[in-house]
Structure 1
Amino acid sequence: MPFIKLTSLTTVALIAFAANSVLGRMALAEADIDPGNFTLLRLISGALSLILISLLVQREPLTHIVRSGKWPTSMALLVYAVAFSYGYVSLDTATGALILFTAVQLTMHFVSYLKGQRFSAMEGAGLATAFTGFLILIIPNLQLGATMLGVCLMSLSGIAWGAYTLLGKDAVKPTLLTTGNFIRAAILALPLLFVSLPFEEVSQQGILLAIASGTLASGGGYALWYLVLPKLSTSQAAVAQLLVPALAAFGGVIFVNDTLSTILIMSLLVIISGILMVIAAKPNNSKRP
């Protein structure tokens, strides 16, 4: 895949990830919809949109679509989505996204370490720089009142998303696999009906936000992410996602009336610097003994 195309598709996927944080916070902050119904609608609408993409664009037979996907990957997707929704009840847009993708980084790099991967000096410096950007923003936000339950739930969501990313790294047909994973995750999510509000009590705005999250930000975004994922190294895939919290933070400023602060701008600049260092680094393919 040409570099410009890869960069463009990766950027669109990251914007979709950030949109999920903004849409989720918009829906849940004002109690337009409860976390259980938001998760269900998000997964079901995402599955339906991906089925249409697989049928009409990818020309996949319906039997192949139904049989695609893997249960372990689908379970990781479900855990991510459930913890994400319940975590955002008590976290603002920027803090939630920061915790989420910090956990993603820790998960992916920890797995790489367990597999014996060694990082070049430039990659290590880039990671350290990017994490410094995280700390610049996350520590003041936590001191301003983010609840520990929200922090734990969003951390769990990030661990699950890291697992989901790693499990899809070698996908041969990424769109088909993503479709199957969403179908299975939606099925696994059905018990949420028993702990969610009656559907008639959910606002129309909340329903629309959940569907937008499912069809556009989740279905389309995840399909793109699985498409570019095999072309990225584990380090590049992990660190590229560090841009998402900054995008989500600015989305929160625009759509959820979050405050644009000097700390937010500093964090963004530091994170981008770290990303550029990792992307520019020569990959170190050696293993530790």
Structure 2
Amino acid sequence: MRLALLITVTMVAFAANSLLNRAAVEAGLIDPLGYALIRVASGAAMLWLLLALRRTAMPRRIPWVGALSLATYMLGFSLAYLTLGAGLGALILFGVIQVTMFAVAAMRGAALGAQRLAGAAMAFAGLASLLWPGGGFSVDLTGAALMTAAGIGWAFYTLDGRGAANPLAATASNFLWCLPLMVLATLAALPSWPAPGGALLAVVGGAVTSGLGYALWYAVLPKIETTTAAVVQLSVPVIAVAAGALLLGEALTWKLVIAGAVVVGGIALAVTAPAAPAGRSRTRG
């Protein structure tokens, strides 16, 4: 029960990230790269402060996988939304995350099982119904490629977290080493100066929902299977849509309610699948 609560809190933090990003960037208070830079810097500062208060040392080794995958996610996600619609972008992002994490689990010898695959497919179908753009639309190939890179980056960032001995220290190290990469990318693009409101939203998104949220995610990951970690993340857009209706006054239609129920049902089907019998899998899925 405690683990389920921690997963729920983490997914809510991820959904809050989406809402904060929309509130800042879509309102024109800050450009996407500036938001990402402040987000990473604020996350690094918050996590460093927590380590200092706990008198915990930062890991000495450079977290190449964690830092590079986090930077890939942050940059790909930020730049993709310059040319890609929010719904289609989220669909590409979470679809790539699912495929990448399930593929890695299978390559590592995990027995995926029919029920787990069916649940994941059901949840993604519900998500597609929820996010698919209405009417005619065109896909910007550059934006789609950037969001694909972001999905792969986040998948490997998640996979890397399964081996974190100290989740808080590992997350702090990832943010700290990701920061120079974000600075270089942002300086190259010469972003505009943010409005105070945009900077404030980026700080909250970085220090709280990203820094603390990602540290909590790293604490949860060693306790669940790779495929479970992949599937539960499909709840994030559903939570974001529900929160948008409650907090931002956005329309909540029966289509959204039914699609959300399908996503939740698919997640429940996948995570309640029986574990693979001993001997059939070389590692946890």
Q: TM (normalized to structure 1)?
A: 0.88
- For 1:102, the equivalent position in structure 2 comes to 95
Classify 1:141/1:13 alpha carbon distance in 2 versus 1 (closer, same or farther; 3 Å): farther
Q: For the residues of structure 1 that align with 2:14 and 2:6, how far apart are their CA atoms?
A: 13
* Correspondences of 1:195-234 after superposition (within 5 Å): 195-198=189-192, 201-234=193-226
Structure 2 partner of 1:87: 80
Aligned to 2:205, the other structure's residue is in SS state helix
Q: Is the contact made by 2:100 and 2:155 (CA closer than 8 Å) also made in structure 1?
A: yes
The answer to whether the 8 Å contact 2:88/2:132 transfers is no
| CA RMSD after TM alignment | 2.2
**Distance change (3 Å), C-alpha of 1:256 and 1:230:** same
Q: Which residue does 1:247 correspond to in 2?
A: 239
The range that moved more, 275-284 or 220-229, is 275-284
**What percent of counterpart residues are identical?**
37
| Contact 1:171/1:177, CA 8 A, preserved across alignment | yes
Structure 2 gap ranges (5+): none
Instruction: Establish whether residue 20 from structure 1 lines up as the match of residue 17 from structure 2.
Output: yes
* Structure 2 residue 51 is the aligned partner of structure 1 residue 54: yes
Q: Is contact 2:231-2:270 (8 Å) kept? A: yes
TM-fit CA distance, 1:6: 1.0
User: 1:29 maps to what in 2?
Assistant: 26
Gap change, CA 1:143 and 1:253, over 3 Å in 2: farther
- Contact in 2 for aligned 1:129/1:271 (Cα 8 Å): yes
Match in the other structure for 1:67: 60
**Counterpart Cα distance in 2 of 1:43 and 1:222:** 11
What SS does structure 1 have at the residue aligned with 2:274? Answer: coil
Distance 1:158 1:256, change over 3 A: farther
Bigger shift: residues 22-31 or 172-181: 22-31
1:126 CA displacement: 1.0
3-state SS in 2 of match to 1:116: coil
Structure 1 range deviating more: 162-171 or 144-153: 144-153
Using the TM superposition, give the Cα deviation of residue 80 of structure 1 relative to its aligned residue in structure 2, in angstroms: 0.4
**Does the CA-based 8 Å contact 1:6-1:228 persist in structure 2?**
yes
Q: Which amino acid aligns with 2:216?
A: L
CA contact (8 A) 1:22 1:248 kept: yes
Q: Deviations over 1:153-184 (max 9, x none)?
A: 22321111001001111111111000000000
Deviation at 1:218?
A: 0.4
Compute the displacement of 1:281 (Å): 1.1
Any unmatched runs of 5+ in structure 1? none
Asked whether the 8 Å contact 1:13–1:224 carries over to 2, the reply is yes
Determine the C-alpha separation between the residues in 1 that align with 2:136 and 2:72.
27
Q: Tell me the CA shift for residue 287 of structure 1.
A: 4.0
* Aligned residue-pair number: 279
Conserved in 2, the CA contact under 8 Å of 1:21 and 1:93?
no
SS of the residue aligned with 1:189?
A: helix
User: In 1, Cα distance between the equivalents of 2:70 and 2:97?
Assistant: 13
- CA separation of 1:227 and 1:162: change in aligned 2, threshold 3 A: same
Task: Output the amino acid matched with 1:130.
Answer: A
5 Å-filtered alignment, 1:139-158, equals 139-141=132-134, 143=136, 147-158=140-151
TM-score by length of 2: 0.89
After superposition, give the CA deviation of every residue in 1:26-58 in whole Å (9 maximum; x if it has no partner). 1111221112211110000000001111221x4
